[in-house]
Copies of this chain bind each other. A is one copy, B any other.
Amino acid sequence: MSDVSSIPPRPGLPAGAAAERRDAARNRERLLAAARELIADCGAEGLTMDRLAEHAGVGKGTVFRRFGSRAGLMLTLLSESEADFQSRFMFGPPPLGPGASGLERLIAFGVERISYVMEFGDLVLAAEHASRRRFEAPAAVLWHRHIEILLREEGFGPDPWLMAGSLAATLDPERLLSLVKVHGISPDRLTASWRDLVTRVVRGA
């Protein structure tokens, strides 16, 4: 299992970088616990950085020093389940993991992603928001590459990289949540449409 999605204490530094100070580690745990509490109470939208700082009993500056931004905090909160998802589609059992055909894995990927968004919806949304170029987020880049590889495995023709991006765009959390919450579309119908889409795209080259 790689470290692709880990959010290190001080991102960007090489692996052997100086360890985090005790008080800093303690404050991070405090903040994460407080954040989970607040989200349980008020939902993800109800979590503001000021309230979090107050609730955790630290200064506001500390919150931003730890997580960089609100999106960074949300990303950290998601990192565990995110890493789990990633390891499942990269190393887990078929049809999601290796062992099945490219098409089967593509279908399974969409299905898993949809149910992931259904489960962590508002958190995912909050993690994407603000950070502007959400397409450069490490996780997004990884999915993109994953889809591209599966397309190539199926012998997909002209421009697998762009097509992978188009397919990924189809799974945009904001769209999926709007379909389910505003239009009352069932997740099953979403997965059926995804299956149809990737089948058509892959079929014939």
Chain A interfacial residues counted at CB < 8 A? 31
- Check B193–A200 contact: CB distance below 8 A: no
Q: Is A120 positioned at the interface, with any CB of B under 8 Å from its CB?
A: no
Closest 7 CB pairs of A and B: A162-B193, A166-B170, A135-B178, A169-B169, A200-B201, A159-B193, A169-B170
Segment of A8-16, A77-85, A101-109, A184-192 engaged in the interface with chain B: A184-192
Q: Mark A155-170, 1 if CB is under 8 A from B, else 0.
A: 0011100110110011
- Check B162–A190 contact: CB distance below 8 A: yes
What residue of chain B has the Cβ atom nearest to residue A178's Cβ?
B135
Q: Is A179 positioned at the interface, with any CB of B under 8 Å from its CB?
A: yes
Residues of chain B with a CB closer than 8 A to A162's CB: 179, 185, 189-190, 193
- Check A197–B190 contact: CB distance below 8 A: no
A200 to chain B, nearest CB (A): 5
